[in-house]
Amino acid sequence: MMDLGLTLTPAQKQLAEANAQGYRWVRMALAGTAPERVEQRLRDLLNRHAALRLRYQRPLGATGLRQRVTEPGELRLDWRQAAAGMDAATWQREAQAHCQAQQPDLLAWWCDQQLWLALPTYSLDLRSFEQLRCELLGNGVAGDDEPMQYSDYAEWIAGLQLDEDAEQGAQFWRNQALQEVPGQRLIERYGMASGARACVQQTLEPALRSAVQALAEAEALGVEPLALAAWGALLSRLNGQRHAQMGLQHDPRDDYQELQGAYGVFEQTLPMQVHLSEHASWLSLARQLARQLENAVLWQEYLGQAELLPEWRASYQAGLRMQQVSEVQGLQALSFDTPMELQLHWLLDESGQGQLALVYDSGLYRREQMQLLLRRYVHWLGQLLQAPQAPLDSLDALLAEEAQPAAAVEGLPADEDIVERLRAHARNQPDSPALRDGQQVLSYAELDELSDRVAGSLQQAGVGPDQVVALLLPRSAQMLVAMLACFKAGAAYLPLDPAQPPLRLLSILDDAKPALLLHLDELTSTYGLPSLTWAQAIDGPALSAPVATAGQHLAYVLYTSGTSGKPKGVQIEQGQLRHYANQITRALDLPAGAHYGLVSSLLADLGNTVLYPAWLQGGCVHLLSQASVTDAQAFADELREHPLDVLKIVPSHLEALIGEHPLEGVLPRQVLVLGGEAVGESLLARLAQAGAGCRLYNHYGPSETTVGVLWRAIDIEQGVSGTALNQVLGNNRICLLDEQQRPVPCGQAGELCVAGASVGRGYLGNVGGAAFGVDPLSGARLYRTGDLALRQADGALRILGRNDQQVKIRGFRLELAEVEHALRGLPGVQQAAVLLDGERLLAFIVEDEGQSRAANLLRDDLARQLPDYMLPAGIFALKSLPLNSNGKLDRQALLERARQRLQGARVAPVGELESAVLEIWCRVLGVEDLGVTDNFFAMGGHSLAAIKVVALIREQLGLNPPTNLLFERQTVRELVQSLDQGASGEGWQVLNEVAGETPAVLLVHGAQGHLQAYRALIEQLGEQQAVYGLAAFADGWQEADLDALLQRYVQSMPASLKQRPLVLLGWSLASRLALLLTPHLQAAGFDVQALAVVDHDPQRSLAGEGDEGGQLLADLAFQCRSQSRPLGKSLRERLGRQLADCDYAEGVTRLLADAEVREHLQWDGADAELQAMLVRYRAIKTRLYEQALPAVEVPIWLWRGNAHGDLRAQWQAHTRNTLRDLSLDVGHHALLAEPRLSADLLSLLAPSIAPQHQAEKVPN
């Protein structure tokens, strides 16, 4: 049998999973030792310690990286001494460049009493380097026995996995159920894990170290659990977690006498769980962690086997490492190779000195953020030392500067009155345009005169200060003139739309009780209110002079959605409106005399950013028609005829209006203000690509705080990070508060609260009064927005979402509870739930027994109460609302069911075969209302259910479809057509046939053998993109000759496809198969234009090599999770014991004989089908990991999710062409459904776009 070398140890594998760099670099201070002596000692150590002579490779037939010990005579040691006067920084750069070019086994360069050392990352850990430094200084401790060689240690660890304690050890880790415990990745992050590490450092003051040491001795604890407890508690506070896991870097050399003085990589990450009750203290948590560590150390050798379980690596997100050294400054790490994304280092020496270092993933975090976090940890330690037994919840994590209130804004110019400024423009520039509505243009003189007449009529009707005038007017110049007239009469306006549902209008008017209703002539007032028609209003006497209004007088009332089921009236006063209009004009430097575009609803305040500043500045307001703001072509035509200088718009609205038009024609000339929702990456990318010449701003604020209180000049180069809000508008104060109404530190989410000049009066009738309060610092009115936000290290605010059920659609704020309340109020509706699915609402109802109404009738009833943006896109009647294991509404199950039903109504079967197959489907899925065009997997199907369907078709219908057929033909109609045509589920599959010469996508199967995982991607690519697939053959994967099997795939493809460019695409493990197939396809004459690989590391090894029972358990857990039936803890523990010491095939037999397993899988079919599935899954996975991967001549398009670090170097090694990389901050299993992936793929497939497409990084 061929010797493949030693497998990596668990500690080495942890580094490999973290995309470690090729070499680990350190600089040693070796003062007082001659370089000749250092060189000789180093050569002696190379002869003595095998760990210093390890080489790494992936031999053919191995499923992962292997290591071999090189003989001393073959070792390539690169030793060099610097000439006198050599600069240390220059020497280091030259050493690193030389190492990169020459790739020695060990590099050792001497300069001025210092030694720069580089060894393969997997060879030595930092403790080994510390030992090496001591021995180079001549301080090695002589012992009777030589320490264990690392190669012996590797064999010993591998052997332990097969001893009598192995299963008990692996079971210990499985019992921790770590896959269910979240990690401690910080909320404040700026991208995705890249694998690149950086470091910030801070001295650990001797007094602080002594205090921690004294406490540890007094409480009979180690310093390590105290440091870990402090770190875990701080991260939990910042992340808002009560239960989380983190990693502790532990060295087994402290536990085994045989390992004392040994060289190698021994330190590995032990998962530790942080449990924080409301009474937990620092000491109680430290004791809890100390007990965990004691148990973990007992079973540390078996940790590698537990890695088979899915998603257990959350402990790599944050952790701690503690090391004792002889001298803090004696050894400096120049590279930071750790499996953890965020690792706190305690470095302590014998003299009482100490240093703290924070090693972090530079793709996730920023340097200034980490410096602040390290300072906070030191401050937190000080707080804990003062009260080690106090509840952690009671302690303050704020730094001194954060505890100080923001300085009051001084020197702001007085806010100008809007009406006075408009009248001044009417006097000074009477002919300048003030308002355009289509072809109607009003000059300032005309606007002033017309609004005077309307105001006079309002005054004559008895309207005055603090009284509300309801404006039941369409989106037109009439509405804007009436709003201005209300101000002149001293009144407040309430905008309403005649198109609103009558019941909603009635509800608002009943709540607002306006003094007067102003409406169009053709509308008859049926609301029992004093009313005035528009014709009467404009025919009245002109107002002699505007009524003087004070700042506390009401300016307008706007209605927003309410949780009680009734809309709420937000009251804004004149002083607040004036302050906003004046301050936003100055802050954004809005141009005078310019053209301002008003595109948003007049029932909301979003447009006030352009309306009132335009009239303050003598500009012209362009009221765009409803037709032009809802049609991309009409919008482009409008702006071409009437260019705008300033535009305020909701980001998603702008994206819709951009359409396919060049951005130059649809953007304002000077200022673009985005508000109402978060700015997305796709819009920013388009703006950056177009080189938008206007200034870009992000603007935030709820209606209760007068349009907006935060803003940011967008830095488009930073992507979404460049939209974080860093400026407070005018005389306002922002604070973030926790649930106890305490200020939160930077990096922690809190409710965003606003106090100051922009906070409105409150709601009419004081409903929802709890949202308003008093700012304890200033005594001003305070509003709790309900938005969660965090303050970044640079001071900018990042909006995270809501802490309630409030959502936004098309810029309108609404409460899902209000829609649910309206549904429950309909006759016959017993229960209701409403969910947001993208930009649409979906409703689910349970009707009274015997009741059944059509969805369109229910929607019609709702339309009489709710505006159109609150109407559900679909209403689905259910027997009951599904609940998850926690007894809560199962939202995901509802969404999946609804999305499928929205695609079309149920289609009845045609013919006996369709009826028979549909009956089988309904029985297996447990549903009654399936149609022949319903998608099997969207309706709750999964891989085991698919196997059961195929088995029943064979048994009951006498047909013999291939096992994979249902994964490729996912509706009854498609399946029956394939049965009629004798279609095969193996090899070549037509997924979406589109004629033409444009590139076609060829999807490649993974370990499961089918193409089901690509379903969402195929749908998003659309009907115009040709998509084909290669499904697994039932046999051949266990044969020795993989090339023959690859040729079968090629031969299954039609020769006609050789005339068309192909892009091979593989997700996860399928990326390997796609790469292997590429040269075979090219040799057969197919034109492979590119290889698209999605979220896989080609250097990754097969987890759990040698533990076939453990691998089977992992595979079973994966299959169960994919059908939403995760293995329970007790079943998992029992199976772990049952599958110990058996190979894979025997393990499958044991599973099939287990009644509890069969019940859990809901399997009542033939054993052969299930056994074949599991065995083939294993065979495909193993062969793809064993096979050496080639380098190809085609470009590689790489997408990676947030489960991996930077994969560019790994894939660049497999192409001699270009590599294009895109990162998406989504999980591994969500990537194929991510719209940005399909959009990016389509742009690359388009010949006119692909050559110019730039690589982009998409941060969080």
Q: Report the distance separating Cα 602 and Cα 1088, nearest Å.
A: 54
**Residues 851-888 pLDDT 10s:** 777 777 787 788 777 877 788 877 888 877 776 544 45
Quote the pLDDT of residue 140. 72
Q: Which residues contact 1006 (CB under 8 A, 6 or more apart)?
A: 1013, 1066, 1067, 1068, 1069, 1070, 1073, 1180
Neighbouring-strand partners of residue 596: 621, 646
Quote the pLDDT of residue 410. 80
**Residues 911-926 pLDDT 10s:** 778 888 888 888 877 6
Where is average pLDDT lowest: 139-153, 218-232, 995-1009, 1210-1224? 139-153
Quote the pLDDT of residue 887. 47
* pLDDT tier, 1248 (very low <50, low <70, confident <90, very high otherwise): very low
DSSP string over 233-279: HHHHHHHT-SEEEEEEEE-GGGT-GGGTT--S---EEEEEEEE--TT
Which amino acid is located at 1117 in the chain? Answer: A
Identify the domain boundary among 983, 1014, 1034.
983
Q: How far is CA 185 from CA 237, 245, 282, in A?
A: 12, 10, 21
Average pLDDT over residues 991-1013: 89
Quote the pLDDT of residue 1103. 64
Torsion of CA 835, 837, 842, 846, to 10 degrees: -50
The answer to whether residues 816 and 941 belong to one domain is no
- Strand 243-250 with 433-437, pairing: unpaired
How many domains, the chain?
A: 7
| Residue 66 pLDDT greater than 60, yes or no | yes
The answer to whether residues 819 and 786 belong to one domain is no
Q: Report the distance separating Cα 1183 and Cα 1005, nearest Å.
A: 14
Residue 1165 lies in a domain: yes
Residue 1084 and residue 1050 in contact, taking contact as beta carbons nearer than 8 Å: yes
The answer to whether residues 940 and 1043 belong to one domain is no
Residue 409 lies in a domain: no
Identify the domain boundary among 932, 961, 983.
983
Neighbouring-strand partners of residue 7: 66
**Residues 1014-1067 pLDDT 10s:** 988 998 898 889 999 999 887 888 787 889 999 999 999 999 899 999 999 999
**Residues 450-505 pLDDT 10s:** 999 999 999 999 999 999 999 999 999 999 999 999 999 999 999 999 988 888 89
Average pLDDT over residues 253-258: 90
| Residue 1206 pLDDT greater than 90, yes or no | no
CATH number (domain holding residue 820) = 3.30.300.30
The answer to whether residues 936 and 1084 belong to one domain is no
CATH number (domain holding residue 65) = 3.30.559.10
Residue 495 and residue 483 in contact, taking contact as beta carbons nearer than 8 Å: yes
Residue 932 lies in a domain: yes
CATH number (domain holding residue 952) = 1.10.1200.10
| Residue 1258 pLDDT greater than 60, yes or no | no
Neighbouring-strand partners of residue 1004: 1030
Residue 209 lies in a domain: yes
The answer to whether residues 192 and 299 belong to one domain is yes
The answer to whether residues 22 and 86 belong to one domain is yes
Residue 262 and residue 256 in contact, taking contact as beta carbons nearer than 8 Å: no
**Residues 804-835 pLDDT 10s:** 666 767 556 677 877 887 888 888 888 888 88
The answer to whether residues 1139 and 1197 belong to one domain is no
**Residues 147-180 pLDDT 10s:** 899 999 988 888 887 777 877 887 888 788 887 7
| Residue 1117 pLDDT greater than 80, yes or no | no
Q: Report the distance separating Cα 480 and Cα 477, nearest Å.
A: 5
pTM of the model: 0.79
- Burial of 1154-1168, coded b for 16+ CB within 10 Å and e otherwise, reads beebbebbebebeee
The answer to whether residues 1228 and 1259 belong to one domain is yes
Could you tell me the residue range of the domain that residue 308 belongs to?
180-403
CATH number (domain holding residue 487) = 3.40.50.12780
Identify which of 886, 892, 870 has the alpha carbon closest to the alpha carbon of residue 819. Answer: 870
The answer to whether residues 186 and 334 belong to one domain is yes
Residue 195 lies in a domain: yes
CATH number (domain holding residue 1043) = 3.40.50.1820
What DSSP character marks residue 335? S
Helix (H) or strand (E) holding 176: none
**Residues 13-58 pLDDT 10s:** 888 776 667 899 999 999 999 999 999 999 999 999 999 999 998 8
**Residues 676-698 pLDDT 10s:** 888 988 789 888 887 778 999 99
**Residues 782-791 pLDDT 10s:** 999 989 999 9
Q: Which residues contact 93 (CB under 8 A, 6 or more apart)?
A: none
Quote the pLDDT of residue 1249. 34
Write out the two tokens for 1192. Answer: 């190809």
| Residue 288 pLDDT greater than 70, yes or no | yes
Identify which of 655, 658, 684, 675 has the alpha carbon closest to the alpha carbon of residue 1259. Answer: 684
The answer to whether residues 216 and 241 belong to one domain is yes
| Residue 983 pLDDT greater than 80, yes or no | no
| Residue 448 pLDDT greater than 90, yes or no | yes
Q: Report the distance separating Cα 235 and Cα 239, nearest Å.
A: 6
Residue 164 lies in a domain: no
The answer to whether residues 645 and 661 belong to one domain is yes
**Residues 752-768 pLDDT 10s:** 999 999 999 999 987 77
Quote the pLDDT of residue 310. 44
Average pLDDT over residues 627-633: 84
Q: What is the mean pLDDT of the chain?
A: 86
Please state the separation of Cα 216 from the chain's center in Å. 40
CATH number (domain holding residue 270) = 3.30.559.30
Quote the pLDDT of residue 416. 96
Residue 95 and residue 109 in contact, taking contact as beta carbons nearer than 8 Å: yes
HSE-CB of 920 using CA atoms within 13 angstroms: 24
Q: Report the distance separating Cα 1223 and Cα 1206, nearest Å.
A: 9
The answer to whether residues 724 and 639 belong to one domain is yes
Identify the domain boundary among 1116, 1147, 1174.
1174
Quote the pLDDT of residue 885. 40
Quote the pLDDT of residue 563. 57
Quote the pLDDT of residue 312. 56
Dihedrals φ, ψ of 777, to 5°? -85, -45
Strand order in 243-250's β-sheet? Answer: 197-203, 354-361, 342-349, 319-325, 243-250, 268-275
| Residue 188 pLDDT greater than 90, yes or no | yes
The number of helix segments (H) and strand segments (E) in the chain equals 39, 48
* pLDDT tier, 427 (very low <50, low <70, confident <90, very high otherwise): very high
- Strand 106-111 with 114-120, pairing: antiparallel
Q: Report the distance separating Cα 63 and Cα 1182, nearest Å.
A: 7
When comparing pLDDT for 453 and 408, which is higher?
453
Q: Report the distance separating Cα 1206 and Cα 812, nearest Å.
A: 39
| Residue 736 pLDDT greater than 80, yes or no | yes
Residue 170 lies in a domain: no
What DSSP character marks residue 943? H
Helix (H) or strand (E) holding 659: none
| Residue 1164 pLDDT greater than 80, yes or no | no
Residue 1076 lies in a domain: yes
